[in-house]
Chain A
Amino acid sequence: MIVVFYIASGVAILSTFLVILQSNAVHALLYAILSLLSVAIVFFSLGAPLVAALEVIVYAGAIMVLFVFVVMVLNLGPGAEGQERVWLQPRTWTGPVILTLVLIGELIYIFLARPGLALGGPAIGPQEVSLALYGPYLLGVELASILLLAGLVGAYHLGREPSD
């Protein structure tokens, strides 16, 4: 399990670097997704499967989709054609493929070796996380929810049609 942890962290660091190095926005986002997935594996190997799942669902599954959504709309400019020659180079696609293969290999290893067991210490289930969130960290949760509410109200205000 310790090997899994180090490989996953390595992939996370490497792919995060590649996010920065990529000139193409969507390819950079793909590396960002990869980075989030490997962080999820890191959480899993540390014995926090709930956090790992939430990381994938919330960050990789929802927030990054919105990023891709925005880039999709913005990217179809007249200059896009000139960039395509750069995109078609093999060095852009070999990297993420190899890294993803490593991650998939690890996933298979985790499933086959010791399903549900943690790297060190016991696995932290959803109940412990919930008790911690609504026990000692209640204030933090409430603050975050107020922040989200403010964001929601702000978004609603900005998205409202002017009533003139």
Chain B
Amino acid sequence: MSSLATNLINVFGVLFAVLTVAAVLVYGERRLLALVQDRYGPNRAGPFGLLQIIADVIKMFTKEDWIPPFADRFVFILAPAVIMITVLLSFTVVPFAPGVEVVSLNIGLLFFLAMSSMGVYSVVLAGWASNSKYSLLGGLRAAAQMLSYEVFMGLSLMGVVILAGSFNLREIVEAQKGMWFVLPQFIGFVVFMIAGLAETHRIPFDLPEADSELIAGYHSEYSAMKFGMFMVGEYIGVTLISVLIVALFFGGWIGPVLPPLVWFVLKTSFFILLIILIRGSLPRPRYDQLMSYGWKLLLPLSLLNLVVTGGIVLALG
């Protein structure tokens, strides 16, 4: 029964860690954005403003949970649940350290891609179910954007799969003992990073929510904890993308001296910080720019990367 106990500890440990990271990010992102914008950020509640997290949670839970009378009730409630479920399920295949993972799936990477493609529904259905024009526009944008960037996301990962010879994330990490895949797969890393930002619709790819044009896009009509689910889902998505970049391109838990889990957490934190920094520095592109950038630049780039990687691997035998 010890294996069941280990499993349960892994499941709840990962769940707890991920949700904690998401909660801390709610505060940390505001603090870090303030840092790069010559401000202080929330610094009043408690030491360094850390109690701001609790204040935000209390606010989120006690607000009125309003469902618009013109909304499609069932889909409206379903949508925020979908994003949480899909993003959290994606974490099941991630190996955090030797022995610290929920399940070692032999199609782990494909499972992640499947879950991220299911995540599109959350945004699209939220936009449709709200039954308002801004939400619908946000939903339409989200559908087109996420579908397009999913393509390059999948293609950019295939170079890693060729090098590692497996879809299993544990084996991919172990294949990086000699060299991190970021060196041979630098293009793949860049494309995955960009596509990952677009998948979680973070700034600069936040066209589905675009506050300045669409109010808040697909979650205009959401309030209280349903809105909170979208927000937490976004933060967990950021964590997921960082975790996957580390596992796929930066050697996962591999590193000298320090214990494996510490290395993993350190590398992940670096990429979370980088994504927040990108949010603080880049403007939002126009919609046609986004689409042409994706299909005319990233798609050929990732295809070329795939072909060249495959050719080199074949030639070297």
Contacts and interface: CB of A to CB of B under 8 A. Distances in A.
Contacts of B139: 72
B102 interface: yes
B147 interface: yes
A26 B128 contact: yes
B73 interface: yes
Nearest to A72: B128
B143 A69 contact: yes
A88 interface: yes
Interface residues of B, number: 40
B124 A68 contact: yes
Contact of B110 (A30, A53, A69, A80): A53
B154 A57 contact: yes
B73 A88 contact: yes
Interface in A49-105: 49-50, 52-54, 56-57, 60-62, 65-66, 68-69, 71-73, 75-76, 80-81, 84, 87-88, 92-93, 104
Contacts of B124: 65, 68-69, 72
Contacts of B143: 65-66, 68-69, 72
Contact of B7 (A60, A69, A107, A112): A112
Interface string A29-47: 0100100000010000000
A interface secondary structure, majority: helix
A115 interface: yes
A56 B117 contact: yes
A111 interface: yes
Contacts of B150: 61-62
A77 B78 CA distance: 23
Nearest to B124: A68
A140 interface: no
Contacts of A57: 110, 113-114, 117, 154
Given A62-B150, A66-B147, A87 B118 contact: no
Contacts of A73: 140
B309 interface: no
B147 A65 contact: yes
B103 interface: yes
Given A49-B105, A116-B106, A56 B140 contact: no
Contact of B136 (A54, A72, A104): A72
A33 B122 CA distance: 13
A80 B124 CA distance: 18
A154 interface: no
A151 interface: no
B75 interface: yes
A88 B139 CA distance: 22
Nearest to A110: B103
B125 interface: yes
Contact of B105 (A60, A68, A116): A116
Given A26-B125, A72-B140, 13 more contacts: A26-B72, A49-B105, A49-B110, A53-B113, A57-B113, A57-B117, A60-B118, A68-B124, A75-B128, A80-B131, A111-B103, A111-B105, A116-B105
Interface of A: 26-27, 30, 33, 40, 49-50, 52-54, 56-57, 60-62, 65-66, 68-69, 71-73, 75-76, 80-81, 84, 87-88, 92-93, 104, 107, 111-112, 115-116, 123, 125-126
25 contacts: A52-B107, A53-B110, A56-B117, A56-B118, A57-B154, A61-B118, A62-B117, A62-B150, A65-B120, A65-B143, A68-B128, A69-B144, A72-B139, A75-B128, A76-B136, A81-B70, A84-B70, A87-B73, A87-B74, A88-B73, A93-B73, A104-B85, A111-B92, A111-B103, A125-B106
7 smallest CB-CB distances across A and B, nearest first, come from: A61-B117, A53-B110, A93-B74, A56-B114, A49-B107, A111-B103, A115-B103
